[in-house]
Amino acid sequence: MSVKLAILFYSTYGTNHAMAEIAAEAARAAGAEVRVLRIAETAPEAVVNAQDGWKAAAAAQAAIPVATPEDMEWANAYLFSAPTRFGSAPSQLRAFIDTLGGQWFTGKLANKAVSAMTSAQNAHGGQEATLLGLYTSFLHWGSIIVAPGYTDASIFAAGGNPYGYSHTQGTDLDDKAKAAIGHQAKRLVEMAAKLA
């Protein structure tokens, strides 16, 4: 069975969108069928439009399909990418997770490989707490967490977060970042293939 990977992202200013695309490229190179899906915006349009960066990112992402519970059933692996909001996943992502009760209750999220990435404004802005909080939800689903751990030198070079790639705003998604994201995506695909 081939790996069908859903890469689900929420991105206020474009960082997590870019991270999702880097991961998608690496996952496809590793042999996965990939769907890049955005988490629906729940903030009022007036709020989004009041911030130029947020408005521009929303426009750039508008053509990307919105994630649905059906996508979660289709996939046999998941990679989530979303910014930190006060040390947790943003409400938009939490709202999507809250729509998955039917899939959870019927076991359609169980035994599937999952990993996560995040970003924050500063290096200690809650990235690890965000990832661990998401992993708590995934444990409830019965999914199999595939964190990067310290399984590749790229993890150390990009900041050393064993829970998942975490990006600090104001820095480029440089070659070190791309290598760490790529390794995480490839590891996820490899583990998902073993589970499948």
pLDDT digits (tens, 9 = 90+) for 122-158: 888 899 999 999 999 999 999 999 999 999 999 999 9
Q: Residue 46, Cβ neighbours under 10 Å: how many?
A: 7
Both tokens assigned to 128: 């690890």
Helices (H), the chain: 15-29, 45-49, 52-61, 69-74, 91-98, 101-105, 127-141, 153-157, 175-195
Q: What is the mean pLDDT of residues 103-130?
A: 95
pLDDT digits (tens, 9 = 90+) for 13-47: 999 999 999 999 999 999 999 999 999 999 999 99
Both tokens assigned to 58: 């929303």
- Using pLDDT thresholds of 50, 70 and 90, give the confidence band for residue 170: confident
Q: What is the pLDDT of residue 1?
A: 62
pLDDT digits (tens, 9 = 90+) for 37-78: 999 999 999 999 999 999 999 999 999 999 999 999 999 999
Residue with the bigger pLDDT between 124 and 90: it is 90
- Using pLDDT thresholds of 50, 70 and 90, give the confidence band for residue 102: very high
Cα–Cα distance, 188 to 145 (Å, whole number): 9
Residue with the bigger pLDDT between 160 and 8: it is 8
Secondary structure (DSSP) of 104-147: HHTTTTTT-EEEEEEEESSTTSSHHHHHHHHHHHHHHHT-EE--
Residue with the bigger pLDDT between 160 and 140: it is 140
Could you tell me the domains of the chain?
4-195 (3.40.50.360)
Torsion of CA 168, 18, 42, 95, to 10 degrees: -80
Judged by DSSP in three states, 160 sits in coil
What is the rounded average pLDDT for all residues in the chain? 96
Query: For the stretch 127-165, what's the b/e string if a residue is b when 16 or more beta carbons lie within 10 angstroms of its beta carbon?
Result: bbbbbebbbebbeebebbbbbbeeebebbeebbebebbb
Global pTM reads 0.97
